[in-house]
Structures are given as C-alpha cells and as structure tokens.
Amino acid sequence: MHRLQVLEKKRDGRELSDEEIRKFIQDYTVGLIPDYQAAALLMAIYLRGMTPAETLALTRAMLDSGERVVFEGLPYAPVDKHSTGGVGDKITLSLVPLVASFGVPVPMLSGRGLGHSGGTLDKLESIPGFRVQLTLEEYKRQVERLGAVIMGQTAELAPADRKLYALRDVTATVPSVPLITASILSKKAAGGARALVLDVKVGSGAFMQTLVEARRLARSLLEVGGELGLKVSGFITRMEEPLGRFVGHALEVREALDILHGRGPQDTTELTEMLGGEMLRLAGVAASFEEGRRKIQAAIADGRGLEKLRRIIEAQGGDARVVDEPQRLPAAVEHLELKSPAEGWIQAIDARRVGLALARLGAGRLKVEDCVDPRVGLEMRHKVGARVTPGEVLAVVHLGKWRDPSGVESLLRAAYRIGPAPPAVEPVVVERISP
C-alpha cells in the first residue's frame, strides 16, 4: 500500500496492518519518507488512537529499526525503571545504585528535560566530568563489569524513536498512549532490559493529568511489554506538587545523595524504596515487594548504595568526591526568597508552573537546542499541608548568572495556593500496577 493510503486509512480511523506499520517505520527511519508525512501519521494516531495490535506492531517496528543489546553471563536478568516524567523527579539517581548494589544489572537509558519537566542526563551532567554519551560498546562493558550505567540513548538503539520523538515534540503529539507506549518500550527492549518497573505519573505536572488516562497508559505498557517478553509492573504516583525538597539539576543531585545517606525527604525516599523493592522482586532477588523494600532500606542504612554510586560516577568519568562533598557541585550565585503573602495552609504547589518558571531561569529547555544551567533551582522550605505565616519563606530560588529573574517571581508565586484550612495530604503512591 502506498504511504498516502496509510495516512488516509489512519486519518479515517481504520486499523493499520502490521505490514503497513512496519514498512512506514522502516522507510521513515532510512529517510525515504519525509518528516511532513510522518508528522501527518503521528497526528492521525494522536487523534484516532491505535488498537492494542497496532500499538504492538508499532513498538516492534521501532525496536527493529536498530540494534538490540543482549547481555550474557550476568547473575540476574537486567531490570530497568521508567518514569513518565515530572518535576523534581531525581529517583533514578538514588535508585540505580541501590538496586545494582544487589548484583542486579541496571542498564538505564535516560533522557533530557524539555518543557516543564527535568531530565536525568542534565542532572548527571552537573557532576563535574560525568559523561552521559557513551558508545554502545562502553554501555555493554560497564553493565557487565559494574552492573549499572546511566546514559543517553545511542544512535544504534531504536533510531526510529529518536526521529519520531523529535517530531512529536514540535507537532503537539507527545501525550498519546500508543505513541508513548511504543517509544518507551522500543528503547527499553533495545537496550537489553528484560524487566521494567514503571512509575506512571498522574496530575497537573504529568503527561497524564487524570487517573483514567494514567491507568490507560499503564495498561498499554503492561500489555505490549508482556507481548515483547518483558516482565512489567510498577506504580501510578502523584505529580501535583514537585517531588522532594529540591528542583533543579545540581540541587536534585544533592537530594539524591541525601536519600542515599539516609536523610532524604519522606516522599522521594519512599518512592526510591518502593520502585527499588519492585525491581528486586522482578529480578528474583526478593520473594515479595515488601522484602525487596526492606532490602533497599538496608542498602541505604549500610551505605552500599552510596558506594555503588561512587563507582558509577568514576566509571563515567565524573568526580566521585561529590558523593561526600556535595559542595563540589555547581552552586547558585544569588538567591531569592519567596515569601508567603498570607497566613494559612499550603493547599497546592503547581509542579507544572514551577517547572516552567525554572525553565525560564535557565534550569530547563524551551527548545531542544537550549543549554541548561545546573545551578538554577528551587529549594522548597515547606510543602503542601504546611502551615505558614505572612512573610514566612516558602521557598528559596537559586539563580544562575545569565537569566533575568524579573517576572519569574510572580510566576512562582502563582504556583502556590494558600488557604484557610488544612488540605487533605495524599500519599505519593496512588496504586500498584501489575499484569
């Protein structure tokens, strides 16, 4: 079938065959189909959706667009984690070394931040010298030798996703369940993961703003992942207020270190323990999620996670002294206090608004080619549920040098809602997801 007929078929809401999907993706990856036709297909998929069979075919086609890593001779099957992204989400940095400290291989392919949400690679690059762009050979060797790596996708792995994701980003087609499913699973499977723990975010700061949508995405990931032979499970977690105490690259590395030192905030510590416990269960190191969680708690208490992080940083060329001397991380040159205008309880801190305001200050990207400033961020002195008085400091903005903060203060202020009664404070984990 000619590619124009493929576009017409999806535009009209009809189901595409495996072969039509495969051929389209193959031809697009090698440059036979122009971006404008691929963009039309993406928009048709966004508007019309895809059946589970189409989503699986799309995922397989994207997976087969490049190489597929197969790890051999490892003590356990490689386990990965994927978060659908949020503000203040630094969990990968604490989670990977903790899980790897049990001998479970964690080949982690991460991304950069865009729009309101941060990216793990940008956070890691605030560690002096840390290399996130390794070759595929270095990736394999580090997993086999050290049991863990955190790096960016390489050109060989799911190249169709690289091209399609860049296109989705500029055509308003990112928040689509079949497109997100195929994007995440093609990359993870290509990178050699055999099991995957999901952190599907829900709320104003997430792609999926309602529980119904988050469940739909979780179900799609579980079903397609299962068809690909991956073990998939995880959690739906809240993304209304930013996670933890800090937002911003160097500040989030600090918080991840705090978690590994056993003095992290309650929500980010809990998420680390829960996701880590589930990863250990899927790997077969723990018989149950509860046992896995206890093991992660033990690895925080005895410093095994910290030691593993030192080794990962060294292996990737970074200055591992930051683990014990976080003052070596880039730090703000100026600070701005954000004060409470009223007496009352903090009802909400809108994660999306916080992310967008910090991006304007240089912490994030408004365009893919933007550079980020690792020093910029927000230190939240109080979170939702806290009682505050007029003039009390709600948060401290950490400023870099090259962006004008005017206007950002009012944007950040607008992220806070203060009311006369204590709000209901909801737990960070909404529910578990499993096949």
- HSE at residue 411, side-chain half, CA atoms within 13 A, is 18
Residue 366 is given by DSSP the state S
Locus of tokens 């909801």: 426
CA distance 211 to 198: 15
| Nearest to ligand URA of 167, 348 (CB atom) | 167
**Farthest CA pair distance, the chain:** 67
Among candidate residues 80, 161, 267, 373, the one labeled active-site is: 161
- HSE at residue 362, side-chain half, CA atoms within 13 A, is 17
187 is catalytic: yes
Window of 71-79, 174-182, 215-223, 224-232 that interacts with ligand URA by CB under 6 A: 174-182
Q: How far is the CB of 55 from ligand URA (least distance, A)?
A: 12
183 is catalytic: yes
What tokens were used for 64? 């087969």
Site for ligand URA in 111-130 (CB under 6 A): 111
| Nearest to ligand URA of 94, 176 (CB atom) | 176
Q: How far is the CB of 174 from ligand URA (least distance, A)?
A: 6
168 is catalytic: yes
Residue 395 in contact with ligand URA, rule: CB under 6 A? no
136 in Cβ contact with 190 (< 8 Å): no
2 is catalytic: no
CA distance 290 to 386: 30
Separation of CA 234 from chain center: 14
- HSE at residue 374, side-chain half, CA atoms within 13 A, is 18
What are the residues whose beta carbons fall under 8 Å from the beta carbon of 299, sequence distance 6 or more?
98, 101, 102, 305
What are the residues whose beta carbons fall under 8 Å from the beta carbon of 399, sequence distance 6 or more?
332, 333, 334, 335, 336, 361, 375, 376, 405
Residue 94 in contact with ligand URA, rule: CB under 6 A? no
161 is catalytic: yes
Among candidate residues 22, 162, 163, 187, the one labeled active-site is: 187
Window of 178-186, 308-316, 318-326, 346-354 that interacts with ligand URA by CB under 6 A: 178-186
Q: How far is the CB of 210 from ligand URA (least distance, A)?
A: 17
332 in Cβ contact with 406 (< 8 Å): no
Q: Could you say which of 94, 183, 220, 269 contacts ligand URA (CB under 6 A)?
A: 183
| Nearest to ligand URA of 16, 42 (CB atom) | 42
Q: Could you say which of 79, 100, 184, 315 contacts ligand URA (CB under 6 A)?
A: 184
| Nearest to ligand URA of 120, 269 (CB atom) | 120
Locus of tokens 């060797």: 141
Window of 39-47, 179-187, 233-241, 328-336 that interacts with ligand URA by CB under 6 A: 179-187
Sheet architecture: strand order including 334-339: 246-247, 377-380, 393-399, 334-339
Angle, vertex CA 338, rays to CA 402 and CA 248, nearest 5: 50
Window of 177-185, 217-225, 290-298, 303-311 that interacts with ligand URA by CB under 6 A: 177-185
Site for ligand URA in 61-90 (CB under 6 A): 84-85
Q: How far is the CB of 361 from ligand URA (least distance, A)?
A: 24
Q: How far is the CB of 397 from ligand URA (least distance, A)?
A: 27
Residue 180 in contact with ligand URA, rule: CB under 6 A? yes
**Closest-CA residue to 66 (of 183, 159, 139, 179):** 159
Among candidate residues 176, 183, 233, 340, the one labeled active-site is: 183
Residue 222 in contact with ligand URA, rule: CB under 6 A? no
Alpha-carbon distances, residue 384 vs 189, 202, 240, 422 (angstroms): 38, 17, 10, 9
Give backbone dihedrals phi and psi of 304, rounded to 5 degrees, phi first.
-65, -35
| Nearest to ligand URA of 301, 366 (CB atom) | 366
Q: How far is the CB of 241 from ligand URA (least distance, A)?
A: 21
What tokens were used for 267? 């929500």
Q: How far is the CB of 83 from ligand URA (least distance, A)?
A: 9
| Nearest to ligand URA of 366, 425 (CB atom) | 366
Among candidate residues 3, 9, 60, 82, the one labeled active-site is: 82
Q: How far is the CB of 184 from ligand URA (least distance, A)?
A: 5
Residue 157 in contact with ligand URA, rule: CB under 6 A? no
CA distance 85 to 120: 10
Window of 57-65, 176-184, 312-320, 384-392 that interacts with ligand URA by CB under 6 A: 176-184
Judged by the rule CB under 6 A, the positions of this chain that interact with ligand URA are 84-85, 111, 165, 174, 179-180, 183-184
**Catalytic residues, which ones?**
82, 161, 168, 183, 187
